[in-house]
Chain A
Amino acid sequence: MTVDMLDALLTLLQLYDSNFPSGAYAHSLGLETYIQDGRVCDAATFREYLEAYLRGPLVYTDGFAFRIVHEAAADHDFGRIASVDERLYVNNVPQETRGAACRMGTRLVVTARSLFPEDTLLREYAEGVRAGRVHGHPAVVYGLAAHAAGIDMPLGLAGYLYSSLAVQVQNGVRAIPLGQTDGQLLLFALRAQIPDSVSRVLQLQDCDFGAVSPGLEMAQLRHSQVHVRIFMS
């Protein structure tokens, strides 16, 4: 193993560590509605949720956006990156999850920028978020950061999908609640589906972007009316 490969591995571990400050622990993205309704109540039902989350929004929206951003960064095409940011924003119908993505993206870009101070695209995106020219979204920041770190797109994408699942597993373990071992077993099972999800993202065409998972979106829409809430979305 070369020094470069080790460096890429360590960068991946740092970016996708659950301690990386994204604020994702505060957002259930509809999971809390399912828990309150009793439809997610144990490891088996939680696994159904996680699989739907991976097959749906993580592939068609977040994962696909990550791929486009990484490719656009390779072409140094900030216009395309800003266009993805806008599409992500207007594709997100539930106000809470739209706001959640902006908040997480805004927070993440500050950290990513300090890790890669020389990267001009991250700088432009961070300045754009601050000035209100772009909205801010985690998929864009992670795509830019992975590119800045020299991480190949499919590898970075796999890491991004994994970390998105990992944080939801932690959210579920806290809120359902489940044991930590159950959480890790779920993550282990879901991890096995990530390579397939990566190849699906690689096959998507422009017109496939942002396909909605109706049930997940309904849970996100209804979250603002859920009585007892520990998550912001």
Chain B
Amino acid sequence: MSTHSWPGSDSRCPKLTGRLWIELAERRGRTEIESLVEEGEFRLSRPVYGVGPDPQLYLIHVGGGCVEGDAYELTVVCESGSRAVLTTQSATKVYKSPVRPVTQSLAIELAPGGCLDFRPDVIIPYENARYHQRTHVRMSSSSRLLYSEILTPGWSADGGWFRYSEFRSWLTVWVDDRPVLYDHQWLCPDNTFLGLGQMEGYTHYGTLLVMGYELSHPTHNVLAESVQGLGIQGCVGLSPLPGPGFMVRVFGLSTDEVEQVFHVVRGRIWREWFGATPQLLRKY
């Protein structure tokens, strides 16, 4: 089965607002940037070493935010044995785009033994914004991935929530050339949007994906209890995937609540994978 038969995977856009290609490789026990292409509004910070599973890389958007018709493409390749934490410098702000949506395509390729922790800041669609994000992960059963995504609605001029038109996110994961996840979020705020079955009164929505990790029943319970212990007002769900891996979904009333949940889960995974404690990335 070709990946092209999968909905949402056809992401080619003729003219890009920003494009970034990063290839990471392991050299003498250290992960280095093997090749880098920066085009348009996307830049990559210099790698930061010395904390946790290094390097830390910051994706920089030199524009002030995404506007109608913007198209971005990001490719991250982790060669065998390389590892990195990739984050953004600030939130992805999406402004009104009633005709042509803002699109972002992200391709993550992890060779055997490659490891990536992708933890971007929140995505904030403002009034009349339309945002389409396509994420495609190709990895081996011996590579590891942490991937998170947080959606928070931007305030509108009259102070109301949920004035964006559309948020769509397709996330596909293939392990050893077999699909293990096809996730499709399609949020169109309307009169039923806050109701039962949809956002159920919550404003923030987060997804954390952990691949290359076999979630045992005891660990599942430990994580569920630790998250409950946070005492947040939000709602958390967790399930193993046929990966191996698992997914965490969070409903919350603030970005902080969602991040607290992710921090607990990431902490557990980091201790097992790297023997390290994840730091809260200070950016502002």
Q: Does B associate with A?
A: yes
Does B180 have its Cβ within 8 Å of any Cβ on chain A?
A: yes
Q: Which residues 209-233 of A have a CB within 8 angstroms of B?
A: 209-218, 220-222, 224-225
Given contacts A91-B184, A93-B183, contact A216 B1 (CB under 8 A): no
Q: Which residues 36-85 of B have a CB within 8 angstroms of A?
A: none
Contact between chains at A91 and B183 (CB < 8 Å): yes
Contact between chains at B237 and A211 (CB < 8 Å): no
Does B177 have its Cβ within 8 Å of any Cβ on chain A?
A: no
Q: Which residues 1-16 of B have a CB within 8 angstroms of A?
A: 1, 5-8, 10
Name the distance in Å between B47's Cβ and chain A's nearest Cβ: 33
Name the distance in Å between A169's Cβ and chain B's nearest Cβ: 16
A to B CB contacts below 8 Å, 21 in the list: A34-B196, A45-B196, A49-B197, A51-B197, A53-B197, A83-B5, A90-B180, A91-B183, A91-B184, A93-B183, A93-B241, A94-B237, A208-B186, A209-B184, A210-B183, A211-B185, A212-B186, A214-B249, A214-B251, A218-B235, A221-B238
Task: Identify the A interface with B (CB < 8 A).
Answer: 34, 39-40, 45, 48-49, 51-53, 55-56, 60, 83, 86-87, 89-91, 93-96, 98, 205-218, 220-222, 224-225
Does B272 have its Cβ within 8 Å of any Cβ on chain A?
A: no
Contact between chains at B170 and A207 (CB < 8 Å): yes
B interface residues, tally (CB under 8 Å): 36
**Using Cβ atoms and an 8 Å threshold, which residues of chain B touch A45?**
196
Residue of A nearest to B238 (CB): A221
One of B95-103, B136-144, B198-206 contacting the partner: B198-206
Q: Which 7 A-B pairs have the closest CB atoms?
A: A52-B197, A221-B237, A211-B186, A207-B7, A215-B200, A206-B7, A215-B197
**Using Cβ atoms and an 8 Å threshold, which residues of chain B touch A213?**
197-198
Contact between chains at A221 and B249 (CB < 8 Å): yes
Q: Which of B180, B182, B199, B241 has the most CB of A within 10 A?
A: B182
Does B239 have its Cβ within 8 Å of any Cβ on chain A?
A: yes
**Using Cβ atoms and an 8 Å threshold, which residues of chain A touch B244?**
none
Bound CA span A214–B186, Å: 9
**Using Cβ atoms and an 8 Å threshold, which residues of chain B touch A48?**
195-197
**Using Cβ atoms and an 8 Å threshold, which residues of chain B touch A220?**
237
Bound CA span A221–B240, Å: 10
Name the distance in Å between B180's Cβ and chain A's nearest Cβ: 6
The residue from A55, A83, A95, A208 contacting B192, defined by CB atoms under 8 A apart: A55
Residue of B nearest to A47 (CB): B196
Name the distance in Å between B103's Cβ and chain A's nearest Cβ: 12
Residue of A nearest to B8 (CB): A207
Name the distance in Å between B222's Cβ and chain A's nearest Cβ: 13
Residue of A nearest to B235 (CB): A218
Contact between chains at B182 and A90 (CB < 8 Å): yes
**Using Cβ atoms and an 8 Å threshold, which residues of chain B touch A206?**
7
Bound CA span A214–B184, Å: 10
Contact between chains at A86 and B1 (CB < 8 Å): yes
**Using Cβ atoms and an 8 Å threshold, which residues of chain B touch A217?**
237, 249
**Using Cβ atoms and an 8 Å threshold, which residues of chain B touch A52?**
192, 195-198
Does B123 have its Cβ within 8 Å of any Cβ on chain A?
A: no
The residue from B182, B187, B236, B237 contacting A210, defined by CB atoms under 8 A apart: B182
Contact between chains at B200 and A212 (CB < 8 Å): no
Name the distance in Å between A212's Cβ and chain B's nearest Cβ: 6
